[in-house]
């Protein structure tokens, strides 16, 4: 079999791009969470690879019919399950893990949240969480790269080369355990070039504004409470306990979140803060608009109504 000729590559490339564009166009029509059970796909797979090549059209149909139902659609505008940032200090090495919220610190009004970061030895944030970059992409700054090289470098003969040994290039294999990794920096470079700082800031601020709107709607319903202050685009909230036992209140909120996620219209995660079970509403998907936030709150209220009526 000969490699694909340029024109056939062009034709198939167009088909794949159309497939992806159609997916994004219709993504909010899918239930957010996977609708299949573990083992579903194995039953639909043939026993062996095809003997003869299959047309791209058939492959895309199989992706649509067999793969898409098992996807958690994290690009859905109704996906609200991102994770907050944290920072920990281990001994003399201070690492700031601004996994989620680090992105918004490109906005001057949020820069104060990382005041003192210049004293840290390393800083990272996940561009794939809130910076319009595909999975997986983590940005890491290290004040003293020599510490990583000293701990992680390896020099078997077959890896030696003039450029690395004369320090003409940074050999990133010495910054990590593995010898290689995916080249996500190119994708991040494309995001920076395609959007520019002004549009990236506008995108992040719009998400903060939508989360603030959601927080306001929660505050207007006396059955609910915002458990911790909202700083960015994540709102931690719960049903106000109608019983004195915290364990019963936690169980009730857990059942509420389970009902919401099982319905498939929106998806959220939870956390336990000071012993209190809370739901986390985190705006972060690139396609989310305020209408989706309003819908999400209506979904929460509807399931809360049903659960309260039955309990």
Domain holding 267, by residue range, is 197-309
- CATH number of the domain where residue 33 is located: 1.20.1340.10
Length of the chain: 311
What is the pLDDT at residue 79?
67
The verdict on 15 and 117 lying in the same domain is no
Query: What's the average model confidence in pLDDT over 237-265?
Result: 90
The verdict on 167 and 207 lying in the same domain is no
In the listed set 140, 161, 187, which residue is the last one of a domain according to the structure? 187
In the listed set 187, 217, 252, which residue is the last one of a domain according to the structure? 187
**Is residue 90 in a domain?**
no
Query: What's the average model confidence in pLDDT over 126-153?
Result: 88
Query: What's the average model confidence in pLDDT over 89-108?
Result: 80
Give the full edge-to-edge strand order of the sheet including 86-90: 86-90, 93-97, 122-126, 138-142
CB contact burial 120-129 (16+ within 10 A = b; e otherwise): bbbbbbbbbb
Residues 25-72: pLDDT tens digits? 888 888 888 888 888 888 888 888 787 778 889 999 999 999 888 887
- CATH number of the domain where residue 217 is located: 3.90.1150.10
The verdict on 66 and 109 lying in the same domain is no
Share above pLDDT 70 across residues of the chain, in percent, rounded to a whole number: 93
Q: What would the two tokens of residue 62 be?
A: 């199989």
Angstrom distance (rounded) from CA 117 to CA 94: 9
What is the pLDDT at residue 196?
93
> Would you say the C-alpha torsion 22, 23, 24, 28 has a positive or negative sign?
positive
Q: What's the mean per-residue pLDDT of the chain?
A: 87
Domain count, the chain: 3
What is the pLDDT at residue 83?
38
89 confidence band (pLDDT: 50, 70, 90) = very low
Given the DSSP bridges, would you call strands 234-239 and 276-282 parallel, antiparallel or unpaired?
antiparallel
Query: What's the average model confidence in pLDDT over 108-132?
Result: 89
The verdict on 217 and 282 lying in the same domain is yes
Residues 165-217: pLDDT tens digits? 888 888 888 888 888 878 888 899 999 999 999 999 999 999 999 999 999 99
The verdict on 62 and 19 lying in the same domain is yes
101, pLDDT greater than 70: yes
113 confidence band (pLDDT: 50, 70, 90) = confident
**Is residue 83 in a domain?**
no
289, pLDDT greater than 80: yes
**Is residue 296 in a domain?**
yes
The residue with tokens 């497939």 is 19
For residues 30 and 73, the answer to whether their CB atoms sit within 8 Å is: yes
The verdict on 115 and 167 lying in the same domain is yes
- If DSSP states are collapsed to H, E and C, what string results for 21-66? HHHHHHHHHCCCCCCCCCCHHHHHCCCCCCCCCCCHHHHHHHHHHH
In the listed set 187, 212, 232, which residue is the last one of a domain according to the structure? 187
CA angle 138, 172, 106 (to 5 degrees): 30
The verdict on 204 and 284 lying in the same domain is yes
Cis peptide before 136 (omega within 30 of 0): yes
Share above pLDDT 90 across residues of the chain, in percent, rounded to a whole number: 44
**Is residue 243 in a domain?**
yes
């Amino acid at each position: 079999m000969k490699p694909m000729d340029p024109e056939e590559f062009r034709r198939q490339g167009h088909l794949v791009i159309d497939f992806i564009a159609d997916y994004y166009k219709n993504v909010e029509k899918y239930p957010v969470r996977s609708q299949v059970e573990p083992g579903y796909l194995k039953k639909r797979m043939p026993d062996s690879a095809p003997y003869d090549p299959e047309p791209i059209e058939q492959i895309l149909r199989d992706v649509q019919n067999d793969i898409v139902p098992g996807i958690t659609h994290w690009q859905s505008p109704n996906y609200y399950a991102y994770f907050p940032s944290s920072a920990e200090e281990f001994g003399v090495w201070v690492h700031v893990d601004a996994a989620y919220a680090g992105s918004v610190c490109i906005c001057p009004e949020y820069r104060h949240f990382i005041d003192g970061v210049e004293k840290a030895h390393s800083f990272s944030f996940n561009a794939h969480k809130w910076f319009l970059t595909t999975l997986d992409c983590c940005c890491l700054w290290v004040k003293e790269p020599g510490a990583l090289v000293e701990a992680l470098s390896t020099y078997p003969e077959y890896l030696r080369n003039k450029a690395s040994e004369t320090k003409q290039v940074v050999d990133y294999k010495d910054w990590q355990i593995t010898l290689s990794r995916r080249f996500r920096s190119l994708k991040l470079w494309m995001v920076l070039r395609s959007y520019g700082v002004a549009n990236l800031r506008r995108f992040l601020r719009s998400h903060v504004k939508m989360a603030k709107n959601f927080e306001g709607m929660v505050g207007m319903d006396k059955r609910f409470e915002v458990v911790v202050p909202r700083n960015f685009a994540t709102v931690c909230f719960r049903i106000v306990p109608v019983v004195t036992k915290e364990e019963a209140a936690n169980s009730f909120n857990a059942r509420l979140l389970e009902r919401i996620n099982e319905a498939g219209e929106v998806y959220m995660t939870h956390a336990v803060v000071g012993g209190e079970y809370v739901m986390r509403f985190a705006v972060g998907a690139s396609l989310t608009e305020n209408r989706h936030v309003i819908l999400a709150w209506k979904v929460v209220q509807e399931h809360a109504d049903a659960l309260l009526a039955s309990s």
